[in-house]
């Protein structure tokens, strides 16, 4: 037995003992969680380690990885004790992970319905993000799931599996819409500009390879190339996974305090520092980009005010990512006591950073004219607990199944948009992940 296997089995044994003592104190069906502090365990390798185990024990599904933008919350979860088709309100030690599709109408993606939240069975979470040395394991109980079932699932966990470079060879690429269809779509949106001052149009780029894709390896590489973003991966069945490295926050709620942002307006990165600085300045002083962003800011502020929140905006700044930079206006709000996450999600999602304005006609335009189904791309993905909830806008995202990956990118169309430039913007937005998939690094 090698050292890693030995270490992992020690952790497993310790956790089983703790679960057994917990059931002596609280019965076979506890109604509160068990928290255990353990030594560091690498989360993506732990998730990857279950690739084979899920075939034998489907209770290990869903597998979810979640890291917030500040990287002070990182977790891996296995299994579910509840699956909900509505937005939950958490009390006590309840915790939910999940999300909403881009919009409720239209055909749904398999495994990714209009709304899906789960309360996980087992969560491994980094405890002290600064040192990365201590982790905690949370076993969730709701009075209906047994300690024995948690022990069984824990026993079926395999040891963490080392991450590997991305090796599959690219076979095909297909853009939907293609470049000509895109030009027609943008032209149509511009014809409608009196009715639709802004609509975000998007594209699906499917790339297929000669071998199956390991999503955990892919997440590790994408995450590395794209820090300062959310990183998440949700797998509800062994057939497909949805993943994202999104720079955009829908909202963070801490008690009744909200942190959000208007993130829209894009320019590429410069080849050197001087060009980068010039591009950054032009992002801050560009009429069309300001229009794109301002519509989002106005929408968020107006909708928070409808919930009777007190809202303040900070001056715009530039968010720099590996291949693009965005205009960002930070927004804070104080909510009334009775505002719930479901109210926030219904009011804010989808913002005109991914939908448009006015909201419903823009969504209708997208539904009627985009030649593919967005599903969870541009949806809202996050976690809910009593005192804190955090949601990301699921852009810079991908749907992975077997040998193929669907990548998504959108661009806000306003007066002054030019189809050719917006097509280039789509390419820039998927450049980070394409560089990894095409092995150009
Ligand atoms: C819709 C996307 O980006 C949004 C967020 C930032 C900048 C955007 C833009 O400049 O068009 C988009 O509104 C996407 O990446 O798929
Ligand atoms: Mg744009």
What's residue 23's pLDDT? 98
Contact of 261 with 329, CB cutoff 8 Å: yes
Contact of 87 with 98, CB cutoff 8 Å: no
CB of 263 shorter than 6 A to ligand 1: yes
Residue nearest to atom 8 of ligand 1 (CA): 264
CATH of domain 170-437: 3.60.120.10
Contact of 48 with 160, CB cutoff 8 Å: yes
Cα of 423 from ligand 1 centre, angstroms: 12
Contact of 401 with 243, CB cutoff 8 Å: no
Indicate left, alpha or beta for 353 from its phi (over 0: left) and psi (-120 to 50: alpha). alpha
- Phi–psi pair at 90, nearest 5 degrees: -90, 140
CB of 396 shorter than 6 A to ligand 1: yes
Q: Distance between CA 435 and CA 402 in Å, rounded?
A: 20
Q: Distance between CA 325 and CA 8 in Å, rounded?
A: 42
CB of 266 shorter than 6 A to ligand 1: yes
CB of 262 shorter than 6 A to ligand 1: no
Query: Is 292 annotated to bind ligand?
Result: yes
What's residue 128's pLDDT? 72
As beta bridge partners, residue 397 has: 244
Cα of 352 from ligand 2 centre, angstroms: 11
As beta bridge partners, residue 64 has: 77, 234
What's residue 129's pLDDT? 66
| Cis peptide preceding 350, ω within 30 of 0 | yes
Cα of 263 from ligand 1 centre, angstroms: 8
The candidate with the shortest Cα–Cα distance to 140, out of 36, 64, 241, 63, is: 36
Closest ligand, as measured to the CA of 248: 1
CB of 154 shorter than 6 A to ligand 1: no
What's residue 130's pLDDT? 67
**Structural domain boundaries in the chain:** 3-155, 170-437
Query: Is 425 annotated to bind ligand?
Result: yes
Per residue in 106-150, pLDDT (tens digit) is 777 999 999 999 999 999 999 876 676 889 999 999 999 999 999
CB of 67 shorter than 6 A to ligand 1: no
Residue nearest to atom 5 of ligand 1 (CA): 264
Which residue out of 397, 410, 422, 423 has the highest number of ligand 1 atoms within 8 Å of its CB and is therefore the one to mutate?
A: 410
Closest ligand, as measured to the CA of 427: 1
The tokens of 7 are what?
Answer: 């270490």
Residue nearest to atom 6 of ligand 1 (CA): 264
Cα of 254 from ligand 1 centre, angstroms: 26
What's residue 439's pLDDT? 82
Q: What is the DSSP string of 137-158?
A: EEE---SSS-HHHHHHHHHTPP
Residue 360 neighbours by CB distance under 10 Å: 11
pLDDT in tens, the chain (441 residues): 678 888 999 999 999 999 999 999 999 999 999 999 999 999 999 999 999 999 999 999 999 999 999 999 999 999 999 999 999 999 999 999 999 999 877 777 999 999 999 999 999 999 876 676 889 999 999 999 999 999 999 999 999 999 999 999 999 999 999 999 999 999 999 999 999 999 999 999 999 999 999 999 999 999 999 999 999 999 999 999 999 999 999 999 999 999 999 999 999 999 999 999 999 999 999 999 999 999 999 999 999 999 999 999 999 999 999 999 999 999 999 999 999 999 999 999 999 999 999 999 999 999 999 999 999 999 999 999 999 999 999 999 999 999 999 999 999 999 999 999 999 999 999 999 999 999 876
Residue nearest to atom 11 of ligand 1 (CA): 411
Q: Distance between CA 334 and CA 253 in Å, rounded?
A: 10
Cα of 4 from ligand 2 centre, angstroms: 47
The residues near 147 (Cβ < 8 Å, ≥ 6 apart) are 19, 20, 22, 23, 28, 29, 30, 141
Angle, CA of 232, 235 and 241, to the nearest 5°: 80
For 239, 340, 381, 416, the CA distances from 214, given in Å and listed in that order, are: 12, 37, 22, 41
Contact of 236 with 61, CB cutoff 8 Å: yes
CB of 411 shorter than 6 A to ligand 1: yes
ipTM above 0.90, yes or no: yes
CB of 382 shorter than 6 A to ligand 1: no
Per residue in 387-400, pLDDT (tens digit) is 999 999 999 999 99
Cite the DSSP H helix spans in 114-248: 147-155, 179-191, 215-225
Closest ligand, as measured to the CA of 417: 2
Residue nearest to atom 2 of ligand 1 (CA): 410
Angle, CA of 159, 41 and 436, to the nearest 5°: 85
Q: Distance between CA 17 and CA 23 in Å, rounded?
A: 10
Q: What is the DSSP string of 349-397?
A: SSPTTTSEESHHHHHHHHHHH-SS--TTTT-EEEEEESSEEEEEE--SE
Residue 182's Cα: distance from chain center in Å? 26
The candidate with the shortest Cα–Cα distance to 38, out of 139, 152, 125, is: 125
Q: Distance between CA 208 and CA 210 in Å, rounded?
A: 7
Residue nearest to atom 10 of ligand 1 (CA): 265
Which residue out of 326, 329, 418 has the highest number of ligand 1 atoms within 8 Å of its CB and is therefore the one to mutate?
A: 326
Query: Which sequence positions are flagged as catalytic?
Result: 198, 248
CB of 79 shorter than 6 A to ligand 1: no
Q: Distance between CA 101 and CA 108 in Å, rounded?
A: 8
Q: Distance between CA 435 and CA 410 in Å, rounded?
A: 19
CA dihedral 90, 93, 94, 98 (to 10 degrees): 100
Strand intervals (E) in 188-316: 198-209, 231-237, 240-244, 249-254, 257-268, 310-313
């Amino acid at each position: 037995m090698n050292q890693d296997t030995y270490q992992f089995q020690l952790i497993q044994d310790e956790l089983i003992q703790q679960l057994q003592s917990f059931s002596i104190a609280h019965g076979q069906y506890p109604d509160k969680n068990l928290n255990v502090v353990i030594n560091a365990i690498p989360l993506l390798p732990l998730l990857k380690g279950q690739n084979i185990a899920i075939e034998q024990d489907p209770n290990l599904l869903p597998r979810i990885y979640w890291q917030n933008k500040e990287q002070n919350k990182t977790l891996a979860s296995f299994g579910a004790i509840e699956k909900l088709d509505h937005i939950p309100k958490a009390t006590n030690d309840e915790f939910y992970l999940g999300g909403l599709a881009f919009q409720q109408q239209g055909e749904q993606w398999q495994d990714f319905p209009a709304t899906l939240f789960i309360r996980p069975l087992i969560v491994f979470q980094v405890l002290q993000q600064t040192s990365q040395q201590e982790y905690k394991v949370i076993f969730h109980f709701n009075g209906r799931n047994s300690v024995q079932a948690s022990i069984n699932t824990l026993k079926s966990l395999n040891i963490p599996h080392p991450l590997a470079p991305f090796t599959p060879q690219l076979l095909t690429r297909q853009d939907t819409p293609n470049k000509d269809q895109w030009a027609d779509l943008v032209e149509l949106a511009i014809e409608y500009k009196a009715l639709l001052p802004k609509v975000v149009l998007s594209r699906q780029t499917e790339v297929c390879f000669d071998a199956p894709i390991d999503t955990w390896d892919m997440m590790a590489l994408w995450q590395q190339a794209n820090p300062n973003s959310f990183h998440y991966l949700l797998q509800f069945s062994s057939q497909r996974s949805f993943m994202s490295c999104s720079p955009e926050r829908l909202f963070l709620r801490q008690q009744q305090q909200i942190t959000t942002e208007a993130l829209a307006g894009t320019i590429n990165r410069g080849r050197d520092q001087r060009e980068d600085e010039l591009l950054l300045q032009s992002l801050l002083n560009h009429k069309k980009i300001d229009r794109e962003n301002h519509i989002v800011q106005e929408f968020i502020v107006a909708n928070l005010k409808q919930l009777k929140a007190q809202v303040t905006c900070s001056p715009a700044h530039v968010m720099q990512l590996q291949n693009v930079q965005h205009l960002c206006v930070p927004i804070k709000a104080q909510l009334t006591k009775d505002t719930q996450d479901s109210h926030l999600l219904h009011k804010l999602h989808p913002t005109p950073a991914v939908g448009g304005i006015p909201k419903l006609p823009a969504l209708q335009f997208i539904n009627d004219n985009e030649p593919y189904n967005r599903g969870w791309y541009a949806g809202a993905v996050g976690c809910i607990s009593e005192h804190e909830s955090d949601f990301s806008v699921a852009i810079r995202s991908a749907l992975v199944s077997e040998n193929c990956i669907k990548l998504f990118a959108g661009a806000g169309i306003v007066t002054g948009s030019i189809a050719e430039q917006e097509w280039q913007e789509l390419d820039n937005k998927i450049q980070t992940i394409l560089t990894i998939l095409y092995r150009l690094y």
